[in-house]
Amino acid sequence: MPNSSSTQNWQKVTTVDEIPVLGSRIIQAVVGQIAVFRNSEDEVFAVLDKCPHKGGPLSQGIVHGKSVTCPLHSWNIDLSTGCAIAPDEGCAKSFEVKVESGVVWLNRQELDTSHG
């Protein structure tokens, strides 16, 4: 777990309350749009909002367990890794998330690097 005091390495993006349960919000970052998900256990995940299949917006999918189903062709993506669940193959970039006192932080370094 990252050191919570080093705020210069972390970017505040939203609060957990602002993300619907079993839903998502979209963050506009330099690397592209990042989908931030919240599941029924209030766990928060961040994945590039592009399905590895045909680039569908994962943020718009149905969230269940620790996965999301892409709205375009129903690929299931594991939110903790960004990777498609077998038999489908491929990964969307996933981002490190930190939640502290209901605030959601993303790793600034990952946001600035423009690969992905």
**Per rule CB under 8 A, is residue 96 in the interface with other proteins?**
no
- Minimum gap (Å) between residue 63 Cβ and other proteins: 7
- Minimum gap (Å) between residue 73 Cβ and other proteins: 8
**Per rule CB under 8 A, is residue 63 in the interface with other proteins?**
yes
- Minimum gap (Å) between residue 91 Cβ and other proteins: 19
Alpha-carbon distance of 69 to 1, in angstroms, equals 28
**Per rule CB under 8 A, is residue 26 in the interface with other proteins?**
yes
With CB under 8 A as the contact rule, the residue among 2, 32, 42, 64 that binds other proteins is 64
3-state secondary structure of 111: helix
Query: Where does residue 20 rank: exposed (0-12), middle (13-18), buried (19+ CB within 10 A)?
Result: exposed
**Per rule CB under 8 A, is residue 71 in the interface with other proteins?**
yes
Residue 110 host element (H or E)? helix 108-112
Residues that bind other proteins (CB under 8 A): 7, 10-14, 18, 20-23, 25-29, 33, 39-41, 54-57, 60-65, 69, 71-74, 76, 87, 111
